[in-house]
Structure 1
Amino acid sequence: MAKGRGINLNLPSADDLFSTQEERDEVKREMVMEIGIEEISDFPDHPFKVRMDEEMQNLVESVRQYGVLSPALVRTKPEGGYEMVAGHRRKYASEIAEKKDIPCIVRELSDEEATILMVDSNLQRETILPSEKAFAYKMKLDAMKRQGKRTDLTSEPVAWKLKGRESAEILGEQVGESKDQVRRYIRLTNLIPELLELVDNSVLKEKGMLQIAMRPAVELSYLPKEEQTALYETIESEDCTPSHAQAIKMRQFSEQGRLNEDVIFSILSEEKGNQKEQFRMPKERISKFFPPGTSVKQVEDTIIKALEMYRKRERSRER
């Protein structure tokens, strides 16, 4: 059961969780309660992954030694218990550290308010994956639009509607992205999980795993699910991912109703500019032959001329 400790919250860490002075003042008027971890469920469709990485390992060790220093934020559930709004990583670290309770702020929030707070608090993380941004931006944008449609509010969301500004533009300003970039991220929610995982690896860069960059991923998001599945199977079998140009070509074939496994294989088999075989030589091995300041092109031209002269000399000897 939740146990109120009767301590006024006046912690500096609240500034990290709540961005405005009004929110911080509200937090200071609330109470910290120790709530059993088993009473707290995760936020529905929580878009942020909780990974056992080095940062999480450090958090677990900190929780073991000092407990959770910054209270989580939860809201009550109609059927009883609590729902986590901000603090999933702290809850997970507490479970690993075998803690039974976690300090929480209990706040009554609407679905829209809870969604916006959940997204905003998690966007403060140092590393955020493309898939996390994609679903988080979509959830917050949908919540903002629902708020804007309400007529019983006099808050900022209604002002957005009256000013004729798009929610995507407002969201972009809040997260430091253009409205077009916000839309690109949201497009990623149309990718099948297997392809989205490859997009995430463009950030994680796990060894032995392929990557798909953002720009081709957005193009691929327009393919129907069955074509995406066929593409993923070809990616696995051929051990390569499409370039931006190849992704555009696949989208064009798809819109024409002509994309199938054979076409996907044919497009992926095309040589990409960054796949052309290159010869590299350590700079220190050839720098002694050129004066300082010699351009790369001059070095390449000189080496080619030297090789041509060498080949002519060898051919004359063979005669």
Structure 2
Amino acid sequence: MAKRVGQKIKMTSIDELLCVPSIAGCDEIEVAKIRPFKDHPFKVLDDEKMHELVESIMLNGVLVPVTVRPLDDGDYEMISGHRRLFAVKEVGLERIPAIIKKYDDDEAVLAMVDSNLQREEILPSEKAFAYKMRYDAMRRRAGRPSKNASQFGTNFPEGRADDELAEQVGESRGQLHRYLRLVELIPSILDLVDKKALALATAVEVSFLDHEVQQMLYEYMCENEICKTFQIFALRDYLKENDTVTKMELMRILNENAPKDESNRFQQLTITKKKLQEYFPTFYTRSQMEKVMFSLLEEWKKKNSTGE
């Protein structure tokens, strides 16, 4: 067959290569017009799984459309698909297939949480804020008729919101309330829970402390060791009878209620010559250095015995 001389070859654009051109029931919208969900509780990490998703989109396009809702200014709010949106931006696509849903604020929260709870791995902090957002939305909707009642659950008395939510997310009522308490933690302590350094039960007890005390507690745990639940009980008991606590008093309470191990408390303490040279002139004798150190320790003892 003779070739057609001068026939132009149409080159496929990168968007045509990387994005599925037609997915039933969805539109393609500009990536720049999509905003993340307000106070989105689930983290989007640039980790190995994200790199796999980016590679998949480069090879196959966006196979599953994201879900968004329209906003009054013409933009869209992401409901489901924050990770896909991140990956698409990494690839450099300008448009993404999306299903557009006209949700009100509470419906959007319920749909967002439901879609993200399907993830394989969910951090305690993510569960905490997701459950809280869904719990609050359910309580606001309690008793109000909804056109999407079959999708988001039936109406129920206010006092049953926790039972309904526990059943929906597959948690016991008690475990649900433990997660709900985690939202009262300062970020640094909540991060310890995510890293499995601080037990969930202990974190729940910490959540009843005000944030100033939590910060002192966090500093204590960084300098010493992670606390046990019964140490927090002792600290809370102290605060029931006292309006506040100093850092020194906090240390005393936690240390006195720590697991007992006196085996190495007063073992010989060794300070290297190199370390001492940082603080003393070379002509100081051993006795002179000891005199200075004990003098400083005496001042420290007087200062801290007054609770300053």
Question: Scaled by the length of structure 1, what TM-score is found?
Answer: 0.70
Residue 220 of structure 1 is matched in structure 2 by 206
d(CA) in 2 for partners of 1:149, 1:174? 18
1:153 Cα deviation after fit: 6.2
Q: Which has the larger radius of gyration?
A: 2
Alignment partner for residue 216 of structure 2, among 218, 227, 230? Answer: 230
- Where 2:214 maps in the other structure, the secondary structure is helix
Q: For residues 265 and 273 of structure 1, do their structure 2 counterparts lie closer, same or farther at Cα, with a shift above 3 Å needed?
A: closer
- Where 1:166 maps in the other structure, the secondary structure is helix
Q: For residues 190 and 254 of structure 1, do their structure 2 counterparts lie closer, same or farther at Cα, with a shift above 3 Å needed?
A: same
d(CA) in 2 for partners of 1:194, 1:107? 36
Answer whether contact 1:216 1:248 (CA < 8 A) is retained: no
Alignment partner for residue 265 of structure 1, among 239, 251, 260? Answer: 251
Percentage of pairs with the same residue: 41
Partner amino acid for 2:230? A
1:159 Cα deviation after fit: 4.6
1:256 Cα deviation after fit: 2.4
Larger RCO, structures 1/2 (Cα 8 Å, 6+ apart): 2
Residue 228 of structure 2 is matched in structure 1 by 243
Bigger helix fraction: 1
Alignment partner for residue 88 of structure 1, among 82, 90, 97? Answer: 82
- Where 1:75 maps in the other structure, the secondary structure is strand
d(CA) in 2 for partners of 1:68, 1:275? 58
Alignment coverage as a number of residue pairs: 242
- Where 1:47 maps in the other structure, the secondary structure is coil
Partner amino acid for 2:205? E
Q: CA RMSD in A?
A: 2.5
Answer whether contact 2:235 2:254 (CA < 8 A) is retained: no
Q: Which runs of 5+ in 2 are unaligned?
A: 1-19, 264-308
1:36 Cα deviation after fit: 1.4
1:141 Cα deviation after fit: 0.7
Q: Deviations over 1:102-140 (max 9, x none)?
A: 111011111111100100110011110111000000000
Question: Scaled by the length of structure 2, what TM-score is found?
Answer: 0.72
Residue 196 of structure 1 is matched in structure 2 by 190
Answer whether contact 2:232 2:254 (CA < 8 A) is retained: no
Alignment partner for residue 166 of structure 1, among 160, 168, 171? Answer: 160
1:121 aligns with 2:115: yes
Q: For residues 62 and 151 of structure 1, do their structure 2 counterparts lie closer, same or farther at Cα, with a shift above 3 Å needed?
A: closer
Answer whether contact 2:66 2:81 (CA < 8 A) is retained: yes
Answer whether contact 1:147 1:158 (CA < 8 A) is retained: no
Residue 142 of structure 2 is matched in structure 1 by 148
